[in-house]
Amino acid sequence: MNFKKIYDEYKSYFEIELKKSTDTFIGTEENLISAMKYSLLAGGKRFRPVLMLMVSDVLGVNRQTILPFAIALEYIHTYSLIHDDLPSMDNDDLRRGKPTNHVVYGEDMAILAGDALLNKAYEIVFRNVGSVYSINASRILSTFAGMNGMVGGQAYDIKNTSYPQTIETLQKIHENKTGKLITASVVIPSCFAGDEHFLELKEYGEKLGLLFQITDDLLDFTSSTEEMGKNVNKDFNANKLTYVTLLGEKKALEFAETTLNDALIAIKNIKNNEVLVELAKYVINRKN
The reply to whether 150 sits near ligand GRG by the rule CB under 6 A is: yes
Single residue of 47, 105, 204, 243 touching ligand GRG by CB under 6 A = 47
Does 83 bind ligand GRG (CB under 6 A)? Our answer is: yes
If the CB atoms of residues 150 and 252 are measured against ligand GRG, the closer one turns out to be 150
Q: Which residues contact 150 (CB under 8 A, 6 or more apart)?
A: 76, 80, 144, 176, 177, 178, 180, 181
Q: Which residues contact 285 (CB under 8 A, 6 or more apart)?
A: none
Binding of residue 213 to ligand GRG (CB under 6 A): yes
> Contact between 154 and ligand GRG (CB under 6 A)?
yes
Nearer Cβ to ligand GRG, position 44 or 68?
Answer: 44
**Minimal distance, residue 263 CB to ligand GRG, in Å:** 16
Q: Are 236 and 246 in contact (CB under 8 A)?
A: no
Buried b / exposed e across 24-57, counting CB within 10 Å, b at 16+? eeeeeeeebbebbbbbbebebebbbbbbbbbbbe
Closest to ligand GRG by CB, 103 or 151: 151
Residue 172, amino acid:
K
Least Å from the CB of residue 79 to ligand GRG: 8
Strand partners, 98: 95
* Interacting residue ranges for ligand GRG, rule: CB under 6 A: 44-45, 47, 80-81, 83-84, 89, 96, 150-151, 154, 177-178, 213, 216
